[in-house]
Every structure is written in C-alpha cells, then in structure tokens.
Structure 1
C-alpha cells in the first residue's frame, strides 16, 4: 500500500516489521545520523543487488510499519519479492537486517587526554553532588540506545515558567555518550558515595587522602567500585570518600608540591577512563587548590577538554560565593602560570515559581558570558526520590525533566 509524500518524490509505504527490528533500525539510523527511511532505502537497494536470498528472518509478531520510499524503488522491490518467492514482510525484514549488519554500532570517540572536570563552589547546598553524579551518568549512558535530550537553546524559556518546554516534541532522541567515567567523592561528608548506594571507606583502611599525603596502603584502583546499573554497563565507577578527608588540608600542609597531590594520586587510574569528575567539598582550602590544579590544561590538551564547572543557584548568596571561588582560581592561575579553563556555570535547583529573585538571578547568571551558563537544572522531586532510593537519577527516572537537562549539560560541555 502506498500514498503520495507531499514533501518530495517519495510515497508512503505501509508494510510490516517486528518491533525488535523497528527499534534496532531506529537506534542504528540515529547512531549513523540518518533518517529511518533513508536506512530502509539503502537496505532495500542492497537487498535487490544480492545474487540470492539471504537467510530467512523470524517475522513472527510483525506489526504494521509505515515509511516513505521512492515509488520506483518500492515497485521494483515488490516485483523482486514475487520473483524470489518471499513475502513483502519477509523481504523488508531481510533488507533491514542486511542494512543493520552492514552498519554496526559506531565506536565511541575517546578523548586524546582524559577529561578532568572539577565540580565546585565553596558554598554548600547548591547541589554539586547531584550535578557531579548526574553529569557522570549522562556521559556513561549506553551508546547503542537512544535517550531523550533537550538542547541548550531552550534555556531562555526557563526564565518564564509558563514557557517551560514541556512539549515532548521539543525533545530529541540521541544515542548515549558511552564514556568511561570515574566519579571521585572528594568531600569528607560522603554525600556522593551514599547517594549512589555505597558506604564510605573505613577510617583505618586506605583512602584517597592517604594517597595524596604520600601514605598509601595499597593500589588506588582497589578502592574503586562500579555503579551497578544496566544503562551504564561497566562504564560508571566511583572512588568513595572517607571521613579522613576532614584532615586533608592539615596533612597536605607538609606535602611537597601539595597542589599536585590529587594529580599524583589519580594518575595511576587515568588510563582506564575517558572522564574523571571531582565532587569538591564546600571549601576554599588546600584541597580546592589541589582540585583546581588537577583540572588545569595540560601540555597539548585542547582548550575546554578539562577545567572547572561551577554550580550556583538563582539567588543572591550564590553570587557572593562565586566571587570568592573565582578569586581563588584566578590567584592560582597567576601564581603558578596555569591555564585553568572555565567549563561553565550550572544554575541548579531552579524554580521560576519562586518569583522575581529566581528569574532575575537566572538572568544575571546568563548575562555572564565568560564563563557562560551551560545548564539549568530544575528543582523537582525526582532527584530527592533518587537520593532516598540510593540510585542514580538517570536510572531511577531516565525521562524526567532533570535527567533530560543533565544529558543536555553533558553534550554542552563536550562540544
């Protein structure tokens, strides 16, 4: 069955396809940057060029499927199916399978230098931990599956809650980024560790603090645990915190080249990851110096590959804390002649219903062009529920507004 396609020289074709083949076709076409109809066209063209029929495909449960194809291609395909003694349903299944076999999942692009993202703000309560976890989750999602993403052009609509883009048509289904990610809980309060369902490291054992202080009791890799959720595969790992980090600044005071202590500790595991995210404590002490130094641009590293990501809120006290933090970073840049890139500002816990203070503060953050706002994350219930459940947000509620926004953030800072 066909009907004209008013948008071009194609006609609407109605056939049947199994749900599995349809989903695989949708995902694979997106991975290769193609429309599904173009993938089907390529598959049919390849099938017609075969010298003999390929192996039969199980079409049990095939359901109605519509696409747009050039009329002459579809007419020729139907004739070929008749000549080869196969049904249209079997023929289209073979053609789609042939295209899938010829177009495997592309390899994930790996950074030349491990990305080091320092998530920070010396003000507590702004949600650094939630942003660190959510960003890491978004970076690690399955590259062979599609996930809903809302791109940054929608940020402006958040200034007016009535204009918030709730229309699902505003979302775009994109493949997961498939990065190998290490989340480092650098805060002695251990919020990141506990939120992801793990226990802090014991005080009498080994820890990141010990490695930074030059008193390691074993290999750092032995302290790392996996975040066990199917959608992340084995790509998302956590270095848990230990409450001995409360003493980190004191212990670093006597360490040689203390600003490089975090880098010396993490160098041992960098080769295993594409991205390392540091969840910093609300502090402007030596630990923050070490984190900033770790995020500096290394020799031959591209600008914006690594750096600091500052989490703020749409209220006045965040602006004061932001000023103190950037002053410390600027002092390090000047004193040690470092290139420390600002990856951007994330406005967290945003809710326009809080009125003029929230909306005007958001506008003020957006007016800062360097660093620019790279994400606006709403203050919604799903994040709190995920924390209570001790599960990653993107596994607990993968389609919620916050998950969608975190995926946009991951892509925005990966450009």
Structure 2
C-alpha cells in the first residue's frame, strides 16, 4: 500500500521478516545512508535481475514502512505479479539483494595506535569512569546498533531546562581492539571491572617501566568479558607498587619514555590504548604525557591528553596546574602533545548556578574544547557496585549514550 506524502516521496507500508529489518537497519547505518534509499536501491536492483531468486522465508514477516520515489512501488508491485511472487516476497528479495551488494564496510582502524591519556591531578573527578566508559564505547560490537547522543546538541540542551530534550541516534559500534591501562596505584579501574590488583611480589607495569621485569607484559593482561565487546576489550591491571613509581623512575635512563618502552611490545595488538592516570603531577605523569605525544607521521588528534573535570571551581584550579605541566613538557622536550579535549564529568544541572555557570565557563574554553558532558547518575555507581562495565550494565542510560558520543568525538 502506498500513502502520499513525504516531500517528493510516498510512504510505503508492507511486511518484512524481522531479521531482514534488523540487518537492513544496521547495514544502512554502517554505510551512513537512510533506510529509504537502501530499499530504493534494492528494488531497482531486483527489478533489473534477469531471473527469480531463491524464495526467502517470510512466514514471520512484520509490519514495515518506508518512503520511496513516486511510482516505484506501483512498478514494483506489477513486476512482482509478473514474476509470480508476493509483494512481501519480492520486497524481502530486494532487501537481500541490497545487503549482498553492500557488505559490511568493516572497522576503520587507526594507522598508528591511538593513545589516550586520561588525566587530572585532582582526585574524585571520575577519570576512571571516563577511561572505562570510553574504552568500552570504542570496543562495542560493530554489527549491532547502540544509542549515541548527538554531540552537537548536548551542550545547548544541558545548559537549558532540566527536561530539555536530547537528540539520539542508533549507530553501529566502533569495534576497535582496546587496552585499558590502570596506571593508578589505587587500582580503581581494575576493581571496578571485576579484577584484582596484581600481587606486589609478582610482575607489574611498574617493574617493566623500572627495568625490573620478571616476564612478558602481555602475560599480565586480562579480558573484560561481555558479549558486546567480544574479545576486543582488555585490561592491564594495576599493582600497589605503583606508589613507588616516581622514586623508581628517578634513577631510570630517559625516564619520560619509560611507559612507552614498557607498552611498545604489545602496541601492535591494539587499535587504542587508554591510560587511567593517578591524581599526580609527578614523574609518572611526565611518562604518561610523553606516551601520548604525536609521533612521526601520526595525524593530529589521533593521540593525546583527555582532561576530566567537574563543573565546580576546584577543578578549574587543578586544570591550571595540569596544563602548566603539559606546556612545560611541550617546551622543554619539544613535544607535539595534543589535547583531545575536556570532559565535564558528574554534571547535574539541579545543583543550580554553581554547576551551570561552571559548565558555561568550560564551554568558553575553545582550545582545548569540551568534547563530552557526562551526567552524575545512579547507573555508574550501580555498575561499580556490581563490578560490571557500565555499557554492559546499563547500555541505554544517559551516561552510556554520552560516553559513546565522547568516543566518537576523539576517534
């Protein structure tokens, strides 16, 4: 049945098997086109075939509608009659033809491993939650759709009334191979993802950085298990010996490069490495920042520093100290060290003027710019309590959709 009108197209109502509907939705999103244009192309291709295709099981077909150019549906109906197939069978075959002609484009992988240094010398701003959530979003299944907040609208909506609408879009997962590095001796990232810190008498990242390694670093890495991440999300757990890292680094040759030397052997196994830094401005932060520098032939913005703050005054003071250290490193060592942006975390407009005015102040900073605003909601705390990844525990909560938008901003 064709029902006018949608600009220069007409609405078509029919049926299509649920599996084909889902495959069509995902594949169209992967190719960045509207479903209506995919169906239009499929019908055109089907009508051009010289022979009938094998029948498709349509016994459980469900209602399906889209918009097609005027006259295409009537012509398609006539062709179905001439070929002796039902309209639902013909439409199913047309969609199948389009899927065959437009295979999944595959994951877009960076040429040089993306290195994201998540930092702020102030504790309690949520660096760990942002590290974990961003890594989870980068690793999600590319053959499934996930709700993503449309980032160009979030700032205006969050600074208006509490019930302001936010725009969302279902997009395929990014499907990257991701390593989360717990660089904080407090081990919050390790524990939140359901793992135990490495024993102090054994091997650790600290020992690899200090030249005291007992084995291969990859042997310390553990998977973050959930079907939405496949085998794409891994964790390098922390060890409490990291409390001694600054002391150990003081006697290490080229100490700024110590983290890079430790991680270099496993870099080829990952598309992105995210480092959850401790609240420190010491030598360990120097090593982390150096690791995030732009390498030869690396595109600007592929790697760099992601600064997590809160919408309150003490975060602004800590931000000033951190950026001073980064600028000193840039100048003293001649580093090309990019800012990937600022993430305003734990935001809650209900806290009134302090929160909203602070958010506006962060928004006013144009270099680096705000690339994410993550709400202060219960789902993150619940995920921590049950030791599960947030995007697995509450994949459709506002924090999850915001973290997906953040991952796309920096990917």
- Using the size of structure 2 for normalisation, the TM-score is 0.97
1:16 is displaced (CA, Å) by 1.0
The 5 A counterparts of 1:391-406 are: 391-406=388-403
Q: Is the 8 A contact 2:147 2:401 kept in 1?
A: yes
Q: 1:347 aligned to 2:344?
A: yes
Partner of 1:177: 174
Partner of 2:137: 138
- Alpha-carbon distance in structure 2 between the residues aligned to 1:57 and 1:106: 24
Partner of 2:296: 299
Partner of 2:190: 193
Q: How well do the aligned residues superpose, as a CA RMSD in angstroms? A: 1.2
Q: 1:375 aligned to 2:377?
A: no
Partner of 1:360: 357
Deviation sequence 1:183-228 (CA, Å, 0-9, x none): 0000011100111111111112111111101111111111111111
Q: Is the 8 A contact 2:146 2:173 kept in 1?
A: yes
Q: Is the 8 A contact 2:6 2:67 kept in 1?
A: no
Partner of 1:159: 159
Q: Is the 8 A contact 1:135 1:406 kept in 2?
A: yes
Q: Is the 8 A contact 2:118 2:277 kept in 1?
A: yes
- Alpha-carbon distance in structure 1 between the residues aligned to 2:158 and 2:242: 38
Partner of 2:83: 84
- Alpha-carbon distance in structure 2 between the residues aligned to 1:6 and 1:351: 39
The SS at the match of 2:388 is coil
Which residue, 373, 382, 385 being the options, matches 1:385? 382
Runs of 4+ in 1 over 4 A off after TM superposition: none
Q: Count how many residue pairs are aligned between Structure 1 and Structure 2.
A: 410
- Alpha-carbon distance in structure 1 between the residues aligned to 2:252 and 2:109: 34
- Alpha-carbon distance in structure 2 between the residues aligned to 1:73 and 1:365: 51
Which residue, 267, 270, 277 being the options, matches 2:267? 270
Partner of 1:112: 111
- Alpha-carbon distance in structure 1 between the residues aligned to 2:5 and 2:161: 38
1:163 is displaced (CA, Å) by 5.0
Q: 1:246 aligned to 2:240?
A: no
Q: Is the 8 A contact 2:143 2:172 kept in 1?
A: yes
The SS at the match of 2:162 is helix
- Alpha-carbon distance in structure 1 between the residues aligned to 2:282 and 2:6: 65
The SS at the match of 1:118 is strand
- Alpha-carbon distance in structure 2 between the residues aligned to 1:6 and 1:173: 22
Partner of 1:211: 208
- Alpha-carbon distance in structure 1 between the residues aligned to 2:40 and 2:157: 38
- Alpha-carbon distance in structure 2 between the residues aligned to 1:292 and 1:298: 13
- Alpha-carbon distance in structure 2 between the residues aligned to 1:346 and 1:353: 19
Change (3 A) 1:184 1:144: same
Partner of 1:337: 334
- Alpha-carbon distance in structure 1 between the residues aligned to 2:161 and 2:10: 41
Q: Is the 8 A contact 1:161 1:353 kept in 2?
A: no
The 5 A counterparts of 1:15-26 are: 15-26=14-25
The 5 A counterparts of 1:27-106 are: 27-106=26-105
- Alpha-carbon distance in structure 2 between the residues aligned to 1:117 and 1:84: 57
The SS at the match of 2:186 is coil
1:50 is displaced (CA, Å) by 1.5
Q: Is the 8 A contact 2:2 2:73 kept in 1?
A: no
Please, which runs of 5 or more residues in structure 1 have no aligned partner? none
- Alpha-carbon distance in structure 2 between the residues aligned to 1:128 and 1:257: 27
The SS at the match of 1:109 is coil
Q: Is the 8 A contact 1:185 1:240 kept in 2?
A: yes
